[in-house]
Protein backbone atom coordinates (compact mmCIF):
# COMPACT_ATOMS: atom_id res chain seq x y z
CA UNK A 1 0.00 0.00 0.00
CA UNK A 2 1.18 3.52 -0.78
CA UNK A 3 0.44 6.58 1.36
CA UNK A 4 0.05 10.26 0.62
CA UNK A 5 -0.44 13.40 2.67
CA UNK A 6 -4.08 14.48 2.85
CA UNK A 7 -3.86 18.00 1.44
CA UNK A 8 -2.02 20.25 3.88
CA UNK A 9 -3.20 18.42 7.01
CA UNK A 10 -0.05 16.36 7.56
CA UNK A 11 -2.23 13.25 7.91
CA UNK A 12 -0.96 10.23 5.96
CA UNK A 13 -3.66 8.19 4.21
CA UNK A 14 -3.59 5.14 1.96
CA UNK A 15 -4.01 5.67 -1.77
CA UNK A 16 -6.91 3.22 -1.65
CA UNK A 17 -9.59 4.01 0.92
CA UNK A 18 -12.52 1.87 2.01
CA UNK A 19 -15.91 3.35 1.14
CA UNK A 20 -18.77 1.93 3.20
CA UNK A 21 -21.79 2.87 1.10
CA UNK A 22 -22.51 -0.82 0.46
CA UNK A 23 -22.58 -1.68 4.15
CA UNK A 24 -26.14 -2.60 5.11
CA UNK A 25 -29.20 -2.88 2.94
CA UNK A 26 -27.79 -0.94 -0.05
CA UNK A 27 -25.26 -3.68 -0.70
CA UNK A 28 -27.16 -6.38 1.20
CA UNK A 29 -24.13 -6.68 3.48
CA UNK A 30 -24.43 -8.18 6.96
CA UNK A 31 -22.46 -7.00 9.98
CA UNK A 32 -20.18 -10.03 9.82
CA UNK A 33 -19.48 -9.36 6.15
CA UNK A 34 -18.83 -5.67 6.81
CA UNK A 35 -16.46 -6.51 9.65
CA UNK A 36 -14.60 -8.99 7.43
CA UNK A 37 -14.22 -6.29 4.76
CA UNK A 38 -12.83 -3.84 7.33
CA UNK A 39 -10.49 -6.49 8.77
CA UNK A 40 -9.10 -7.37 5.34
CA UNK A 41 -8.75 -3.74 4.28
CA UNK A 42 -6.84 -2.81 7.43
CA UNK A 43 -4.58 -5.84 7.13
CA UNK A 44 -3.76 -4.72 3.56
CA UNK A 45 -2.72 -1.27 4.81
CA UNK A 46 -5.84 0.78 4.15
CA UNK A 47 -6.18 3.32 6.96
CA UNK A 48 -9.02 5.56 5.73
CA UNK A 49 -12.67 4.50 6.02
CA UNK A 50 -15.38 6.74 4.55
CA UNK A 51 -19.11 6.54 5.21
CA UNK A 52 -22.10 8.92 5.43
CA UNK A 53 -25.17 9.38 7.57
CA UNK A 54 -27.56 8.80 4.66
CA UNK A 55 -26.09 5.45 3.60
CA UNK A 56 -28.96 3.09 4.42
CA UNK A 57 -30.34 5.74 6.81
CA UNK A 58 -27.44 5.40 9.23
CA UNK A 59 -26.99 1.63 9.03
CA UNK A 60 -23.61 1.97 7.33
CA UNK A 61 -22.30 4.16 10.15
CA UNK A 62 -23.54 1.66 12.74
CA UNK A 63 -21.78 -1.20 10.94
CA UNK A 64 -18.56 0.77 10.56
CA UNK A 65 -18.66 1.65 14.25
CA UNK A 66 -18.97 -1.98 15.30
CA UNK A 67 -16.28 -3.07 12.83
CA UNK A 68 -13.68 -0.56 14.05
CA UNK A 69 -14.41 -0.91 17.77
CA UNK A 70 -11.19 -1.26 19.74
CA UNK A 71 -8.94 0.11 16.99
CA UNK A 72 -10.35 3.58 16.45
CA UNK A 73 -7.04 5.36 16.91
CA UNK A 74 -5.43 3.48 14.01
CA UNK A 75 -8.05 4.63 11.50
CA UNK A 76 -8.70 7.91 9.73
CA UNK A 77 -12.49 7.91 10.06
CA UNK A 78 -14.58 10.04 7.71
CA UNK A 79 -18.31 10.58 7.40
CA UNK A 80 -20.65 13.01 5.67
CA UNK A 81 -23.85 15.00 6.26
CA UNK A 82 -26.28 17.32 4.39
CA UNK A 83 -28.28 14.80 2.36
CA UNK A 84 -31.90 14.27 3.48
CA UNK A 85 -32.40 12.11 6.56
CA UNK A 86 -36.13 11.48 6.40
CA UNK A 87 -38.98 13.69 5.26
CA UNK A 88 -38.57 16.52 7.78
CA UNK A 89 -37.51 19.56 5.75
CA UNK A 90 -34.87 20.70 8.25
CA UNK A 91 -33.22 17.29 8.59
CA UNK A 92 -30.84 18.03 5.72
CA UNK A 93 -28.58 20.74 4.35
CA UNK A 94 -25.72 22.78 5.76
CA UNK A 95 -27.42 24.85 8.45
CA UNK A 96 -25.93 25.10 11.93
CA UNK A 97 -29.19 23.73 13.33
CA UNK A 98 -28.92 20.53 11.32
CA UNK A 99 -25.15 19.95 11.33
CA UNK A 100 -24.91 20.04 15.12
CA UNK A 101 -27.67 17.43 15.37
CA UNK A 102 -26.43 15.36 12.43
CA UNK A 103 -22.92 15.10 13.82
CA UNK A 104 -24.14 14.00 17.25
CA UNK A 105 -26.27 11.35 15.54
CA UNK A 106 -23.29 10.15 13.48
CA UNK A 107 -21.02 9.98 16.53
CA UNK A 108 -23.64 7.94 18.38
CA UNK A 109 -24.05 5.50 15.48
CA UNK A 110 -20.29 5.19 15.01
CA UNK A 111 -19.72 4.77 18.75
CA UNK A 112 -16.91 7.37 18.83
CA UNK A 113 -16.37 10.79 20.36
CA UNK A 114 -14.97 12.39 17.21
CA UNK A 115 -14.46 11.85 13.48
CA UNK A 116 -11.28 12.76 11.66
CA UNK A 117 -12.98 14.17 8.58
CA UNK A 118 -16.53 15.55 8.42
CA UNK A 119 -17.71 16.31 4.89
CA UNK A 120 -20.62 18.28 3.49
CA UNK A 121 -22.11 15.65 1.17
CA UNK A 122 -23.47 18.14 -1.36
CA UNK A 123 -23.43 21.92 -1.62
CA UNK A 124 -26.58 23.40 -0.06
CA UNK A 125 -27.74 26.38 -2.16
CA UNK A 126 -30.12 27.47 0.62
CA UNK A 127 -27.39 28.02 3.24
CA UNK A 128 -24.58 30.55 3.15
CA UNK A 129 -20.97 29.43 3.24
CA UNK A 130 -20.49 31.53 6.36
CA UNK A 131 -23.28 29.70 8.19
CA UNK A 132 -21.95 26.24 7.32
CA UNK A 133 -18.28 27.05 7.90
CA UNK A 134 -19.04 28.76 11.20
CA UNK A 135 -20.87 25.66 12.46
CA UNK A 136 -18.08 23.36 11.29
CA UNK A 137 -15.42 25.56 12.88
CA UNK A 138 -17.23 25.46 16.21
CA UNK A 139 -17.62 21.69 16.02
CA UNK A 140 -13.91 21.43 15.28
CA UNK A 141 -13.05 23.62 18.26
CA UNK A 142 -15.31 21.46 20.41
CA UNK A 143 -13.14 18.46 19.49
CA UNK A 144 -15.90 16.57 17.70
CA UNK A 145 -14.21 16.75 14.30
CA UNK A 146 -10.55 17.10 13.40
CA UNK A 147 -10.97 18.41 9.85
CA UNK A 148 -13.83 19.18 7.50
CA UNK A 149 -14.26 18.94 3.76
CA UNK A 150 -16.68 19.12 0.85
CA UNK A 151 -18.04 16.47 -1.47
CA UNK A 152 -19.03 16.85 -5.11
CA UNK A 153 -18.95 20.66 -5.02
CA UNK A 154 -18.82 22.56 -8.31
CA UNK A 155 -15.44 24.22 -8.75
CA UNK A 156 -16.79 27.73 -8.27
CA UNK A 157 -18.37 26.72 -4.95
CA UNK A 158 -15.05 25.32 -3.75
CA UNK A 159 -13.49 28.70 -4.50
CA UNK A 160 -16.35 30.64 -2.87
CA UNK A 161 -16.04 28.57 0.30
CA UNK A 162 -12.30 29.23 0.47
CA UNK A 163 -12.93 32.96 0.14
CA UNK A 164 -15.69 32.86 2.77
CA UNK A 165 -13.37 31.11 5.22
CA UNK A 166 -10.73 33.77 4.65
CA UNK A 167 -13.10 36.73 4.80
CA UNK A 168 -14.85 35.59 7.98
CA UNK A 169 -11.76 34.11 9.71
CA UNK A 170 -13.22 30.62 9.83
CA UNK A 171 -11.83 27.14 9.34
CA UNK A 172 -11.72 26.01 5.73
CA UNK A 173 -12.50 22.88 3.81
CA UNK A 174 -9.30 20.85 3.54
CA UNK A 175 -10.60 18.10 1.25
CA UNK A 176 -12.94 17.59 -1.70
CA UNK A 177 -14.57 14.31 -2.72
CA UNK A 178 -15.49 14.34 -6.43
CA UNK A 179 -16.66 11.59 -8.76
CA UNK A 180 -13.79 10.68 -11.09
CA UNK A 181 -13.02 7.80 -13.44
CA UNK A 182 -11.67 7.10 -16.90
CA UNK A 183 -15.22 7.44 -18.23
CA UNK A 184 -16.06 10.62 -16.30
CA UNK A 185 -13.12 13.00 -16.60
CA UNK A 186 -14.89 16.36 -16.44
CA UNK A 187 -13.39 17.24 -13.06
CA UNK A 188 -9.98 17.42 -14.74
CA UNK A 189 -11.01 20.63 -16.46
CA UNK A 190 -12.31 22.54 -13.44
CA UNK A 191 -12.44 20.83 -10.02
CA UNK A 192 -8.97 19.27 -9.85
CA UNK A 193 -7.12 22.45 -10.91
CA UNK A 194 -8.96 24.29 -8.12
CA UNK A 195 -8.14 21.68 -5.49
CA UNK A 196 -4.48 21.86 -6.48
CA UNK A 197 -4.55 25.65 -6.28
CA UNK A 198 -5.92 25.58 -2.73
CA UNK A 199 -3.98 22.56 -1.53
CA UNK A 200 -7.02 20.37 -0.86
CA UNK A 201 -6.76 16.64 -0.41
CA UNK A 202 -8.88 14.76 -2.96
CA UNK A 203 -10.74 11.52 -2.25
CA UNK A 204 -12.33 10.34 -5.50
CA UNK A 205 -15.47 8.23 -5.54
CA UNK A 206 -16.81 5.87 -8.20
CA UNK A 207 -13.37 5.23 -9.77
CA UNK A 208 -14.84 2.06 -11.32
CA UNK A 209 -17.69 4.10 -12.84
CA UNK A 210 -20.50 2.19 -11.10
CA UNK A 211 -19.04 -1.10 -12.30
CA UNK A 212 -18.46 -0.19 -15.93
CA UNK A 213 -14.70 -0.55 -15.33
CA UNK A 214 -14.86 -3.63 -13.09
CA UNK A 215 -14.32 -6.10 -15.93
CA UNK A 216 -17.82 -7.52 -15.47
CA UNK A 217 -19.35 -5.45 -18.27
CA UNK A 218 -18.31 -6.40 -21.80
CA UNK A 219 -19.88 -6.46 -25.23
CA UNK A 220 -21.99 -9.53 -25.88
CA UNK A 221 -22.67 -10.19 -22.21
CA UNK A 222 -25.83 -9.51 -20.28
CA UNK A 223 -25.31 -6.65 -17.82
CA UNK A 224 -26.27 -8.16 -14.49
CA UNK A 225 -24.27 -6.22 -11.91
CA UNK A 226 -25.62 -5.21 -8.51
CA UNK A 227 -25.69 -1.56 -9.52
CA UNK A 228 -27.54 -2.22 -12.79
CA UNK A 229 -30.39 -3.83 -10.85
CA UNK A 230 -31.40 -0.58 -9.13
CA UNK A 231 -30.05 1.95 -11.65
CA UNK A 232 -31.12 0.31 -14.93
CA UNK A 233 -31.12 3.55 -16.95
CA UNK A 234 -27.37 3.85 -16.47
CA UNK A 235 -26.83 0.53 -18.23
CA UNK A 236 -29.55 0.62 -20.89
CA UNK A 237 -27.68 0.17 -24.17
CA UNK A 238 -30.40 1.99 -26.11
CA UNK A 239 -29.07 5.15 -24.45
CA UNK A 240 -26.31 6.76 -26.56
CA UNK A 241 -24.12 7.58 -23.56
CA UNK A 242 -24.19 3.95 -22.45
CA UNK A 243 -23.27 2.72 -25.91
CA UNK A 244 -20.35 5.17 -25.86
CA UNK A 245 -19.26 3.79 -22.50
CA UNK A 246 -19.41 0.21 -23.71
CA UNK A 247 -17.35 1.08 -26.79
CA UNK A 248 -14.77 2.77 -24.57
CA UNK A 249 -14.71 -0.21 -22.20
CA UNK A 250 -13.94 -2.59 -25.08
CA UNK A 251 -11.02 -0.43 -26.20
CA UNK A 252 -9.79 0.00 -22.62
CA UNK A 253 -9.91 -3.76 -22.10
CA UNK A 254 -7.46 -4.18 -24.97
CA UNK A 255 -5.14 -1.59 -23.41
CA UNK A 256 -5.30 -3.44 -20.09
CA UNK A 257 -4.61 -6.81 -21.71
CA UNK A 258 -1.59 -5.48 -23.58
CA UNK A 259 -0.23 -3.98 -20.35
CA UNK A 260 -0.81 -7.18 -18.37
CA UNK A 261 -3.36 -5.49 -16.10
CA UNK A 262 -6.90 -6.15 -15.02
CA UNK A 263 -9.54 -3.55 -15.81
CA UNK A 264 -9.69 -2.72 -12.11
CA UNK A 265 -5.94 -2.12 -11.98
CA UNK A 266 -6.20 0.08 -15.06
CA UNK A 267 -9.10 2.08 -13.59
CA UNK A 268 -7.66 2.59 -10.11
CA UNK A 269 -4.14 3.17 -11.42
CA UNK A 270 -5.52 5.87 -13.69
CA UNK A 271 -7.22 7.98 -11.02
CA UNK A 272 -4.38 7.68 -8.52
CA UNK A 273 -1.91 8.77 -11.21
CA UNK A 274 -3.37 12.27 -11.25
CA UNK A 275 -1.18 14.55 -9.10
CA UNK A 276 -4.24 16.18 -7.50
CA UNK A 277 -5.67 12.88 -6.24
CA UNK A 278 -4.85 11.65 -2.74
CA UNK A 279 -6.94 8.47 -2.52
CA UNK A 280 -9.44 6.45 -4.52
CA UNK A 281 -12.49 5.23 -2.60
CA UNK A 282 -13.33 1.60 -3.29
CA UNK A 283 -16.74 0.26 -2.25
CA UNK A 284 -16.64 -3.55 -2.27
CA UNK A 285 -19.69 -5.62 -1.35
CA UNK A 286 -17.79 -8.90 -1.01
CA UNK A 287 -14.32 -10.08 -0.05
CA UNK A 288 -13.74 -11.20 -3.64
CA UNK A 289 -14.48 -7.65 -4.80
CA UNK A 290 -12.11 -6.26 -2.18
CA UNK A 291 -9.24 -8.60 -3.09
CA UNK A 292 -9.55 -7.72 -6.78
CA UNK A 293 -9.39 -4.02 -5.88
CA UNK A 294 -6.52 -4.40 -3.43
CA UNK A 295 -4.51 -5.90 -6.30
CA UNK A 296 -4.33 -2.36 -7.68
CA UNK A 297 -2.75 -0.91 -4.53
CA UNK A 298 0.72 -0.66 -6.06
CA UNK A 299 -0.29 -0.23 -9.72
CA UNK A 300 1.64 2.50 -11.52
CA UNK A 301 0.63 3.08 -15.12
CA UNK A 302 3.30 3.85 -17.69
CA UNK A 303 3.17 6.98 -19.82
CA UNK A 304 2.29 4.82 -22.85
CA UNK A 305 -0.74 3.36 -21.06
CA UNK A 306 -1.90 6.79 -19.89
CA UNK A 307 -1.52 8.12 -23.44
CA UNK A 308 -3.58 5.19 -24.75
CA UNK A 309 -6.34 5.99 -22.26
CA UNK A 310 -6.31 9.64 -23.37
CA UNK A 311 -6.81 8.50 -26.96
CA UNK A 312 -9.96 6.60 -25.94
CA UNK A 313 -11.51 9.13 -23.55
CA UNK A 314 -10.07 12.61 -23.97
CA UNK A 315 -8.95 14.58 -20.89
CA UNK A 316 -11.76 16.58 -19.33
CA UNK A 317 -14.54 14.65 -21.10
CA UNK A 318 -17.55 13.02 -19.41
CA UNK A 319 -19.03 10.23 -21.50
CA UNK A 320 -22.27 10.52 -19.52
CA UNK A 321 -22.55 14.25 -18.79
CA UNK A 322 -26.15 13.92 -17.60
CA UNK A 323 -24.87 11.87 -14.64
CA UNK A 324 -22.65 14.63 -13.34
CA UNK A 325 -23.26 15.42 -9.69
CA UNK A 326 -21.70 18.91 -9.56
CA UNK A 327 -23.74 20.61 -12.28
CA UNK A 328 -24.55 24.26 -11.40
CA UNK A 329 -28.24 24.61 -10.47
CA UNK A 330 -28.91 27.05 -13.32
CA UNK A 331 -28.21 24.28 -15.84
CA UNK A 332 -30.84 22.07 -14.23
CA UNK A 333 -33.55 24.66 -13.51
CA UNK A 334 -34.51 26.86 -16.46
CA UNK A 335 -35.97 29.55 -14.21
CA UNK A 336 -32.52 30.21 -12.79
CA UNK A 337 -31.07 31.09 -16.18
CA UNK A 338 -33.86 33.39 -17.31
CA UNK A 339 -33.69 37.12 -16.76
CA UNK A 340 -36.57 38.12 -14.50
CA UNK A 341 -38.69 41.01 -15.78
CA UNK A 342 -39.05 43.72 -13.12
CA UNK A 343 -42.57 43.99 -11.76
CA UNK A 344 -42.90 47.60 -12.78
CA UNK A 345 -42.19 46.71 -16.42
CA UNK A 346 -44.65 43.85 -16.37
CA UNK A 347 -47.43 46.28 -15.39
CA UNK A 348 -46.81 48.63 -18.33
CA UNK A 349 -49.29 48.57 -21.20
Active site residues: 55
Please, which residues have CB within 8 angstroms of residue 306's CB and are 6 or more apart in sequence?
270, 273
- Residue 114 backbone phi and psi in degrees, to 5: -160, 160
Q: Residue 55: which region, alpha, beta or left (left: phi > 0; alpha: psi -120 to 50)? A: beta
Please, which residues have CB within 8 angstroms of residue 280's CB and are 6 or more apart in sequence?
15, 16, 17, 203, 204, 207, 268, 271, 272
336 in Cβ contact with 200 (< 8 Å): no
Torsion of CA 63, 69, 72, 74, to 10 degrees: -100
204 in Cβ contact with 280 (< 8 Å): yes
Measured CA to CA, the distance from residue 314 to residue 260 in angstroms comes to 23
Amino acid sequence: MQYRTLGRTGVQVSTLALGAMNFGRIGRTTQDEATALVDTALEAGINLIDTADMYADGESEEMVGKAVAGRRDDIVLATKAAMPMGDERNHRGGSRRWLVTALDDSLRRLGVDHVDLYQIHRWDPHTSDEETLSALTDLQRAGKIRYFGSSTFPAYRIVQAQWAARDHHLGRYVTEQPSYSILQRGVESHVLPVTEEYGLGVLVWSPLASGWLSGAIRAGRDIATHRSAFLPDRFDLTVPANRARLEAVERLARVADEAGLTMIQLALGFVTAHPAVTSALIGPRTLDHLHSQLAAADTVLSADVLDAIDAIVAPGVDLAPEEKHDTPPALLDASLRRRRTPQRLQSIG
